[in-house]
Amino acid sequence: MFVSENLGVNSAGNLTIGGVDTVELAKEYGTPLYVMDEQLIRKTLRRFHDSMKKYYDGKGEVHYASKAFSCMEMCRVVASEGDGLDAVSIGELYTAYKAGFPMDKVGFHGNNKTDEELSFALKVGVGHIIVDNISELHRLEAIAAEMNVKPDIMFRIKPGIDAHTHDFVKTGQIDSKFGFALETGEAFEAVKEAVNCKNVNLSGLHCHIGSQIFDIAPFEEAAKVMLGFIAKIKNELGFEIKGLNLGGGFGIKYLEEHDPAPFEVYLERVSSVVKAECARLNIELPKMFIEPGRSIAAPAGITLYTVGARKEIPNIRTYISVDGGMADSPRYILYGSEYEAIVANKANDDRTEKVTIAGKCCESGDLIGENMPLQHAESGDIIAVCATGAYNYSMSSNYNRLQKPAVVFVNEGKSRIAVKRETLDDIIRNDI
Ligand code: LLP
């Protein structure tokens, strides 16, 4: 009935998430409100790591891409499932570190890491650093020498794969700011240099072809290209690459018509390609890493809003204005991303209208979506926007000096605050 499996309707006719009444959540914590379902986060993590065990003989790690949704409570949940983390800034590293995350299970990313970030990553002992470019390699070598450590590194490689997704989230093609290009020989030159580096240990290669990808084929292609490169390194340099990180990017269902392949099928097919290629190329089976972000966080989350004004413009459209907008939900204005919405206190009603849900920011493009099927919504109703757990809170801003909403986790019928709502004093916290 709804796009995410954790949503239901209770006897009061209210939408529930993880069995908890969303209208009650709105009353208790106020709106806008991000709600995350801990059980679904855990279930999805397990689907990934159990499939990795099953299809790849346990020789792998799932690193949750924390850019999708990061806060200390999320890090604790991931840690308690025994999974690793992908962090892409000192802020994400710090969040994990302060949450007590086992830092040896963290991969540190970024196409332009600062010296401060590299030093911090070494200080807290991250598992490996995914080096993006040659100048980073040189800076890391120097910093590691000074700190008297020898970190494991991976190289981020552009495998030259075109994933069929939005241009802004494609990353595997040659014209990308991320990583070393294979086609130009840049990647091979970097590997040649790294194998002789005294202060870093080249432990693996990484690629990430994009995000919200429904097809498995581009992932299989990327794995083949990467293994071909690992074989070339073995044959020409006599050096064995032990780790292969295939990134994230698995698509999820935002709308009823979306039909992404199940993660189990992805892992089964990619594992079998990796095994077959390793046998064909006569190379050792590498340890495999994957970095799912959206697929873990998005379906677990919803955003709750209170309806304010309803504005019907005859023959044009009906605007339903809510108490949040692009500051907490930036993906429509950025990518035209579509979502399912439900009037939470009328969840059993049919969605008889098609409306534009508008935010409260001073900007015409500030919309949650257009042409959205919705129950008849009036002032005071609660609207739930579904599958917003990824790249909403993490990309939220204080535009128009709006306060960032709270994040609440629900688990087994109970709710708890994971991130407090910002106060007005938070808004002026750093103002002099
Ligand atoms: N690994 C790397 C190196 C990445 O760059 C990303 C996402 C991931 C893993 C996780 O990808 P996921 O499984 O979440 O698709 N803000 C955009 C998405 C940007 C994705 C950036 N990198 C959005 O809201 O759609």
Domain end, chosen from 262, 297, 332, is at 297
Distances (CA, A) of 205 to 130, 159, 173, 288: 8, 11, 16, 10
Asked, for residue 385, whether it belongs to a domain, the answer is yes
User: How many angstroms is it from 65 CA to the middle of ligand 1?
Assistant: 7
Same domain, 43 and 26: no
Sequence-separated (6 or more) residues with CB below 8 Å from residue 383: 304, 305, 306, 307, 320, 322, 341, 342, 343, 344, 357, 374, 377
Same domain, 228 and 130: yes
User: How many angstroms is it from 270 CA to the middle of ligand 1?
Assistant: 19
| Four-CA torsion 297, 59, 129, 392, nearest 10 degrees | -10
User: H or E segment at 117?
Assistant: helix 115-123
The pLDDT of residue 1 is 82
156 is in an annotated binding site: no
Residue 193 structure tokens: 């240099």
Atom of ligand 1 at shortest range from CA of 294: 14
Same domain, 320 and 263: no
The pLDDT of residue 21 is 98
Same domain, 108 and 257: yes
User: How many angstroms is it from 296 CA to the middle of ligand 1?
Assistant: 12
User: How many angstroms is it from 252 CA to the middle of ligand 1?
Assistant: 12
Same domain, 189 and 237: yes
CA gap 311, 317 in Å, rounded: 8
293 is in an annotated binding site: yes
Q: Which CATH number characterizes residue 204's domain?
A: 3.20.20.10
Does pTM surpass 0.85? yes
Residues with CB under 6 A from ligand 1: 65, 67-68, 86, 109, 169, 208, 211-212, 247-250, 291-295, 331, 335, 391
Same domain, 292 and 333: no
Q: Contact, 372 vs 386, CB < 8 A?
A: no
The pLDDT of residue 164 is 63
Digit-coded pLDDT (tens) for 12-35: 999 999 999 999 999 999 999 999
Q: Whose CA is nearest to atom 8 of ligand 1?
A: 248
Same domain, 190 and 144: yes
331 is in an annotated binding site: yes
Number of domains observed in the structure of the chain? 2
Helices (H), 125-247: 134-147, 186-194, 217-237
38 is in an annotated binding site: no
Asked, for residue 103, whether it belongs to a domain, the answer is yes
Domain end, chosen from 272, 297, 322, is at 297
**Which of 71, 75, 278, 362 is flagged as catalytic?**
362
Asked, for residue 101, whether it belongs to a domain, the answer is yes
| Residue ranges in the chain whose pLDDT is less than 50 | none
Domain end, chosen from 230, 264, 297, is at 297
Q: Residue 32: is the preceding peptide bond cis (ω within 30°)?
A: yes
Same domain, 273 and 352: no
Same domain, 262 and 203: yes
Same domain, 304 and 260: no
Instruction: Please choose, from the candidates 208, 221, 207, 210, the residue with its C-alpha nearest in 3D space to the C-alpha of residue 164.
Output: 210
Asked, for residue 1, whether it belongs to a domain, the answer is no
Neighbours of 353 (CB within 10 A): 15
Q: 428: burial class by Cβ within 10 Å (0-12, 13-18, 19+)?
A: exposed
The pLDDT of residue 216 is 93
CA gap 293, 178 in Å, rounded: 18
Q: Whose CA is nearest to atom 5 of ligand 1?
A: 208
Asked, for residue 141, whether it belongs to a domain, the answer is yes
Asked, for residue 58, whether it belongs to a domain, the answer is yes
User: H or E segment at 36?
Assistant: strand 33-37
Same domain, 139 and 241: yes
Q: Whose CA is nearest to atom 9 of ligand 1?
A: 248
18 is in which domain, residue-wise? 7-30+300-427
Distance of CA 409 to the CA centre of its chain: 17
| Annotated catalytic residue 362 | yes
Residue 157 structure tokens: 């490689």
Asked, for residue 432, whether it belongs to a domain, the answer is no
Q: Which CATH number characterizes residue 21's domain?
A: 2.40.37.10
Residue 191 structure tokens: 């590997």
Asked, for residue 2, whether it belongs to a domain, the answer is no
The pLDDT of residue 175 is 79
Same domain, 213 and 322: no
